[in-house]
Amino acid sequence: MPLTPKQAPLEKENLHPRNAHRQGYDFEQLIKTNPGLRPFVKLNQYNIESINFSDAEAVKMLNKSLLKQFYGVNDWDIPEGYLCPPIPGRADYIHYVADLLSENNKGNVPTGKSIKVLDIGTGANCIYPVIGSSVYGWQFVGTDIDPIAIRSAKDIVAANSHLKSNVLLRQQTNKHNIFKGIIIQDEGFDATICNPPFHASLQEAQLATINKWNKLKTGGQPQTALNFGGQKKELWYHGGEAAFIKLIIEQSALVAKQCLWFTTLVSKKDTLQGVYKALKKVAANDVRTISMSQGQKVSRIVAWTFLNETERTEWADTWWHKA
């Protein structure tokens, strides 16, 4: 018997205008799409249907439902303990990258296989290639240093026919390299994307989780488990997101003419000063900062290119408008 909430979720106006999740979660429809979600849906303290977001299995089932309903992904799973990302925020990143690319396409988002995107640290969930190829028909190369993550991502692609011709996975075998060993000679990408590990250690990640749950006033013992899961390589890196993004920026200069736009998420506002300093050092031609917010979380995308306006126009004319 369906639950009857007294109040529908409010529109999430902070999400991108094209984001399919602006209206919140329609659990009645999501349960129809994936009946396995039903046991996890309860009325919350505001008498609105929801799930327990501290329950990893509930979050995974919600993701399965969203991916099936909105992105045509009928078979999606991840190994236990791996990052199970919140779909609306990941979709936002893709839509903002689409806006960036539209600048060289007379304001229209370029779609189809002529657009090629590199996802740095695609993870076991393969979420950015799934969303980007499903919504815009783009081609993706997903890369990760974790062989289990690569295997999982390959399984997701193999299980969904519309992803097979659009998503390729490549394992990075050297932890010190971002692009070397991944981008091959004469290969070009219209955008690179990355959701970098933003904690500097496991302890920092656990402390952030405890603080998060205390703010949400969950009651009882403070949560120490990470509600969206995640392995070491997904969540923390020596030096945190600042060090990882600095590495991306330094190494982007080595493939400066092989990518139209490099982008990365920046979770911490304090990271920005170092990011801008690093971009100045490598002489990026243009730098953009795009604000994003999902619920209580505020973040931003930093994008940069080494190509001037003329070169960007030539890039689009050469690669996007082939007969």
What does the pLDDT look like over 103-134, one tens digit per residue? Answer: 999 999 999 999 999 999 999 999 999 999 99
Q: What is the pLDDT of residue 9?
A: 56
- 295 torsion bin: left (phi>0), alpha (psi -120 to 50), beta (else): left
Find the radius of gyration of the CA atoms of the chain.
20
Residue 4 lies in a domain: no
Say how many C-beta atoms besides its own lie within 10 A of residue 173's C-beta: 10
Task: Tell me whether residue 15 is in a domain.
Answer: no
Please check whether residue 43 lies inside any domain of the structure: no
For residue 91, report the phi and psi dihedrals to the nearest 5 degrees. -65, -40
Domain CATH number, residue 151? 3.40.50.150
Cβ neighbourhood burial of 221 (10 Å; 0-12, 13-18, 19+): exposed
Answer yes or no: is 69 within a domain: no
What pLDDT was estimated at residue 1?
Answer: 45
Q: Is residue 282 part of a domain?
A: yes
pLDDT computed for residue 201 by the predictor: 45
95 falls within a domain: yes
Which pLDDT does position 72 carry in this prediction? 96
pLDDT under 70: residue ranges of the chain: 1-11, 198-239, 322-323
Per the structure, the complete domain to which residue 140 belongs is given by 75-319
Kind of pairing between the strands at 286-294 and 297-305: antiparallel
pLDDT recorded at residue 130: 98
Q: pTM of this prediction? A: 0.87
Could you tell me if residue 68 is inside a domain? no
pLDDT at residue 150 in the model: 97
* pLDDT attached to residue 33: 97
pLDDT score, position 248: 97
In-domain check, residue 162:
yes
Neighbours of 219 (CB within 10 A): 7
Q: What is the pLDDT of residue 223?
A: 42
What is the pLDDT at residue 198? 52
The one-letter code for the residue type at 195 is N
Q: Return the pLDDT at 293.
A: 84
C-alpha dihedral (11, 13, 15, 19), degrees to nearest 10: 60
Q: Which residues make beta-bridge pairs with 289?
A: 302
Tell me what pLDDT residue 237 has: 53
Number of domains in the chain: 1
